Structure 1
Amino acid sequence: MVTKYLPEMNRKLLSIFIIFFSIIIHAQEDAWVYLTDKPDAAYYLANPLEMLSQRALDRRTVQGISLDNTDVPVYPNYITQIENATGITVMAKSKWMNALHVRGSLTNIQALENLAFVDYVYYANHSLNLRSGNPITTPISESKSSDTNDKFDVQVNFNYGNSDNQIQMLNGHLLHQQDHTGQGKIIAVLDSGFTGVDTATPFQRLHDNNLILGGYNFPDGNANFYMRHNHGTMVLSTMGGYVDGQLVGTAPDAQYYLFITEDINSENPVEESYWVEAAELADSLGVDVINSSLGYGAYDNPNYSYSYAQRNGQIGFASRGASMAFQKGIVCVISAGNEGNNTEPHIGIPADADNILTIGAVNNVEAYVSFSSIGNTADGRIKPDVCAKGLGATISNTSGAITTASGTSFSSPILAGMVATFWSAVPNLSASQVIQYVKESADQYNTPDIYKGYGVPDFQLALTNALNTESFSTNQVSIYPNPVSSILTIEGVQLQNASIRIYNQLGQNVLSFDLLNNQNSIDVSVLNSGVYFYDFSSNNSKLRGKLIKR
């Protein structure tokens, strides 16, 4: 081997060039530009099918969710003006936040604040933000992760093979035996890539039944989502994979959208913005459940990284996006992360979000696995919420071989598939009710901890509890929200001569209302937090169920 050496002067010039180039690279900043308004909001709100699918509108109707300005797209002319600004690249956009993710020099980004339609700029570099508190107020209505049946009318018997433990642990097989396998529910998978999903045998059943509805590749800006990486492939296999006698997913008959939001080549906050864009697209397509086995804490630029104190559900862009998805009637299921053995062992972004299910990992006997990131959130909320098998989970790789892998990346989709399967059995429940039933069914519900949260759910118990409320079983009356903080709404075809009585757990009548003149709301704010029971009756309906008061 012959080694060549540069002359001394050339070496000095090269060194200067490298230093200069490094300065230029690090001079580039990422930021979110928050806009003041949406001038065309009235048009979109009057023509909702211009911004949302009928399925998305139906989901809102079932859950009593109104349209608002957050459903309206970002104003195109504002995007164009910022794209044309000196030295600015628009990387992503969010209608929910009315914000654009931009990249450019600090000077050029600062100049954007002179535009009349720019409210303010929030930098990914936390030290550059002069604002105190939250970057934006996201209204709340209520990780790249390192990786006895005889009482039922049995309709489906799967040969689970080695995947039996991860399903039976959750009593998911009991729901499958009752023919609840995710039918009618759509799951969006937000991940790093799905190589082999278009060719590998474990996914053939999905293709044969037209259960993969589409997807998008956000980092590359195209519709080629069967590429980039294998992580999403393995994740999807735990929900939708099928090889008789080897692997059955927890929601084998759900439908799926596959979204690439993770850029494996770098760690940058733009991935959070892609995540929110994907969640918004999922919402518009009528998705019911989002699974994301991704999480963020440390970035390549340490100035962009999140401290534990910032993991409160209100700082991370993706965390606020996940909470917003809930407000649109979607259940987000997020992996807790695999940082449990690290110096910073806590859950990341967006696992810290409010009103989602954050999933930790347990082994085959339901014991906590040490790599699983711990809680609570910085503001003291219980995390993780619940757990599923994450050590030695049975998965498919890109070639279709059935093998095992470990990480909350797999406990999350195993749980997400069961959420869709449970919801398919009681389809008129709200996202809030689904989350609450899952938590209440878990084995540590009364004694949660920072390792397993509320513990391992029992989906047969969740289904039994949901069926006992009877609230979904009539097409004439709907009572929501449940849990409720103050105002309880009763909707129905006819509410004449209607009354509702609320009882505590001792059977004592604590509130009574006669609904006059088709009155459809009552104030229950005087009740203490806890579990109550309601008895509703009218000329044509009777309804009893459990009511949770926040």
Structure 2
Amino acid sequence: MKQLKFFFILLFFPVLLWGQNSLEGKMSPYTRHFLSMLKKSNDNPMSKERLEKSFVMRKEGNRIYVNAFVLLSKDADIEVLKSNEVQINTIANNIVTARIPVDVLETIASLPDVLRIDIGCPVKKKMDLARPLGNVDKVHQGVELEHGFKGKGVIVGIVDTGFEYGHINFYSPTEKSLRIKRVWDQNQSDGPLPDGFYYGAEYKTEKDILNAQYDLKDETHATHVTGIAAGSDYSGDYYGVAPESELALVAFSEVSRDNVSILDGVKYIFNYAEEENKPCVINLSLGSHTGPHDGSSMFDRVCDDLQGPGRILVGAAGNEGGTALHVSKYVHPTDTLKTFLSFPVGAKFGYIDFWGEPDQAYKIRLFVYNRNTRKMMFLSDDINASEENEVSYTLKNVNTDGAVGLIDIYTERNPLNNKTNAYIEAFFDVIGNGNYVGLFVMGDEGEVHGWIDGRGASFTDNYMPGWTIGDTDYTIGEIGGTGKRIITVGAYSSKDEFVNLSGTKKTSEHELCKIAGFSSLGPTSDGRMKPDVTAPGTVIISSFSDAVIDDSYYKGVMTQSIVVNNKSYYYGALQGTSMASPYITGVVATWLEANSSLTPEDVKSVLKKTSMKDEYTGNEENNIWGYGKIDAWKGLKEVINNFGTSISQADSPKDVILYQHWGTSGFSICFVNANTNVKISVFNTNGQIMYSSVLGNVSVAQEESIYLPFLNKGIYIVSVQGDKYNYISRVVL
């Protein structure tokens, strides 16, 4: 029997080695941590609790799924993934988003064409006086413009949670119809699936959208955000920045709150904009601090790829500008980074992510230190972060270990950016009196950056000389802040008081006109300026979902209720970069109305030229204010004058005048000067020809009226070509 057992081990030992080698570098530390916790959860109640708190999973039938980014080889056949019951959603070059059964996760990672799997990381949710501060009212009124701009013909997308779909703020005031044209609730398990996606439910008609009512009944974040960007309730002062835009909404919640689902939501909305042949801007008032903060994550790479002419993303910078959640140091063999972790009362846990420079090698070490005895009560091994390691420690006795809890450390050299990465999760039930948890980072010469994410956790030196204190630089979050093309928005204080429905006056601690104390700061870890711009973000009053009227917190910040057709609708005050971001989203929508082909780079160029500078922002761009405070009106004039004309202006007014027949599918062209061999063409924004007519010779003052009822509503390009002159303009049909 012993010989047989020995033979069995010999037979399988090479297989186990092959299996380990085939997975090396293929799964992120966070993914490997998930698999480890999943295996431990069957026997360890504490591990099961951490599993549910740290990771996003979804159970369907008897199987558990996780969302993931999958990096494939160039010639990979995705049918191989599908044959293993993997559901493919977004495809962007060689990166796909997928829902993978956890029981085949390692099998998928071992496939030759699979280069990398990153499972989704959890994300967090991050107008009366606000509009005039950014000169939005001038945009609406058309001051020094041919007409007002309110986002007509533009799709505003919102990926968020806490929608009341039927709020009065989302109706067209003139047509009395719902302006929400698409909803994808990612959490519904019954209902029609969106084309190309394998989860959630899609609502396409006004009836179905109104019947759905809400995505969640304990949240209003999304209703508030949508109202800021695009609310249209003119009965009061709280309508939004782009009140004539169309809305496409994606709802996520506790069962789909990861960055993979967010990316799918972005792709879904851009797909809809493509179908409708309309420009689109999407708001992401969401964030996370797991990742390299340099734009190299798979989320940032795909978002960069999805953006382009008429496809813009706007994101919140984050609300950690007042929390020292970042630490950094230029280390070398004789100079070590030494820092402590600080936990707020009642929340002794943290998700810690350290990144070095490309090709840099370093080691990391965790400890528990007693300040009174000046002795280490617990000291981990030196863990080489440039190699793939998985190390766990269980601290069982507060008297001998200094704390009771679990520490997990996962390391690798990330193949996407060649940076050394150490991901750490630390959960404590008890930390003894006078004891401090901390870490060392030591190694080759180079700069290391670390972030801690966990209900106010931070880095501190505990007033010990030679130790490194945390700071608020580099606190720009992943999702809304670190991509190379996304427009990242910080917040400044625009209002500091309000009166709630009970008549109680409430005040904000943020000083008017200054940067909000919570607004996260740049730069990114690769040195790019962030945020790009700032907008009003304190005490912003916008629509509230009626699902939260009995919530004690939300009830205290409600400011107004109105009754329409025997139904009550509510408004309330919130603050954060979550509120500043949709302000800019609405502004970009008005700019896209003027020029549907603006790129993210065009928008940043306009922001650089037109953002307001004052005594608070300083005269130079910086990592607090970006280019300055938004000036929507000045920016719109820059778009019209230097990036193309508004829809009813002529590029060559001396030769041709175009008259828009508003509310119809037609327009008229008046020829000021004669021309020969004239041809009129109409293109969609993708350059496809939709209509063509040869007029031949035209005379002075000749007028041609064109009606195109067969076209979908949207923005189109009108081209007039002739021997003597050419003309191009835009129309909304």
Shorter-chain TM-score bucket reads 0.5 to 0.7
User: Is the CA contact (8 Å cut-off) linking 2:68 and 2:119 kept in structure 1?
Assistant: yes
1:461 is displaced (CA, Å) by 1.4
Paired positions, count: 386
Unaligned runs of 5+ in 1: 1-13, 40-74, 84-88, 127-142, 148-162, 299-304, 478-493, 495-537, 544-550
- The match for 1:218 among 186, 203, 207 is 186
1:165 alignment counterpart: 129
Runs of 5+ unmatched residues, structure 2: 1-40, 56-63, 143-147, 189-199, 204-211, 326-471, 495-511, 547-568, 654-675, 677-722, 729-733
Cα deviation digits, residues 279-310 of structure 1 (max 9, x gap): 55355444533333433325xxxxxx33xxx1
Shift of 1:258: 0.7
Q: Match for residue 349 of structure 1? A: 478
Q: Kindly provide the amino acid, as one letter, of the partner of residue 107 in structure 2.
A: A
1:323 is displaced (CA, Å) by: 1.4
Query: What aligned pairs does 1:88-487 form with structure 2 within 5 A after superposition?
Result: 90=87, 92-104=89-101, 108-113=104-109, 115=111, 118-124=113-119, 144=123, 146-147=125-126, 163-178=127-142, 179-194=148-163, 196-198=164-166, 200-205=167-172, 208-220=176-188, 221-223=200-202, 226-228=214-216, 229-241=219-231, 242-260=233-251, 262-264=252-254, 268-278=258-268, 280-282=270-272, 284-285=274-275, 286=277, 288-298=279-289, 305-306=290-291, 310-315=292-297, 317-327=298-308, 329-344=310-325, 345=472, 346-350=475-479, 351-364=481-494, 365-399=512-546, 400-427=569-596, 429-444=598-613, 447-469=620-642, 471-472=644-645
Q: Compared with structure 1, are the counterparts of its residues 283 and 385 closer, same or farther at alpha carbon in structure 2 (3 Å cutoff)?
A: same
Q: Distance in 1 between matches of 2:65 and 2:155?
A: 39
Distance 1:343 1:439 in 2: 29
Distance 2:643 2:120 in 1: 50
How far off its partner does 1:362 sit?
0.6
Tell me if the contact between 2:125 and 2:286 (Cα under 8 Å) persists in the aligned partners.
no
Q: Could you give the per-residue CA deviations for residues 370-415 of structure 1, whole angstroms, max 9, x where no partner exists?
A: 1111111111111110111110011111132222111111111111
Structure 1 contact 191–293 (Cα < 8 Å) conserved: yes
Which secondary structure does the structure 2 equivalent of 1:189 belong to?
strand
CA gap 1:193/1:319 in 2 versus in 1, 3 angstroms = farther
Helix, strand or coil at the partner of 1:208: coil
State the alpha-carbon separation in 2 of the partners of residues 30 and 145 from structure 1.
17
- Please list the CA deviations of residues 187-217 of structure 1 after superposition, one character each: whole Å capped at 9, or x if unmatched: 11111241x221x333333782442111212
Where in structure 2 are the equivalents of 1:479-498 lying within 5 Å? none
Partner of 2:38: none
In angstroms, what is the RMSD of aligned CA positions? 3.8
Indicate if the aligned counterparts of 2:308 and 2:599 stay in contact, CA closer than 8 A. no
| 2:521–2:530 Cα contact (<8 Å) kept | yes
SS at match of 2:128: helix
Name the CA shift for 1:348/1:431 in 2 (closer, same or farther; >3 Å): closer
SS in 2 for 1:412: helix
CA contact (8 A) 1:275 1:318 kept: no
- Does structure 2 conserve the Cα–Cα contact (< 8 Å) formed by 1:276 and 1:321? no
- TM-score, structure 2 normalization: 0.47
Alignment partner of 2:534: what SS? strand
- Cα pair 2:155 2:279 within 8 Å, conserved: yes
Distance 1:270 1:215, change over 3 A: same
Question: Percent identity of the aligned residues?
Answer: 21
Q: Which amino acid aligns with 1:171?
A: N
Q: Is the 8 A contact 1:214 1:256 kept in 2?
A: yes
Q: Which residue of 1 aligns with 2:82?
A: 80
**SS state of the match for residue 151, structure 2?**
coil
What amino acid does structure 2 have at the position aligned with 1:164? D
- Once residues 455 and 324 of structure 1 are traced to their aligned partners in structure 2, the CA distance between those partners, rounded to angstroms, is 27
CA distance in 2, matches of 1:368, 1:422: 25
Does the C-alpha gap of structure 1 residues 433 and 447 become closer, same or farther in structure 2, counting only changes over 3 Å?
same
Residue 541 of structure 2: SS of its match in structure 1?
A: strand
**Helix, strand or coil at the partner of 1:347:** coil
Hey, which of these two has a bigger chunk of helix by percent? 1
In the superposition, relative to structure 1, how do residues 167 and 222 fare at CA in structure 2: closer, same or farther (>3 Å)? same
Measured in 2, the distance between the counterparts of 1:421 and 1:372 equals: 25
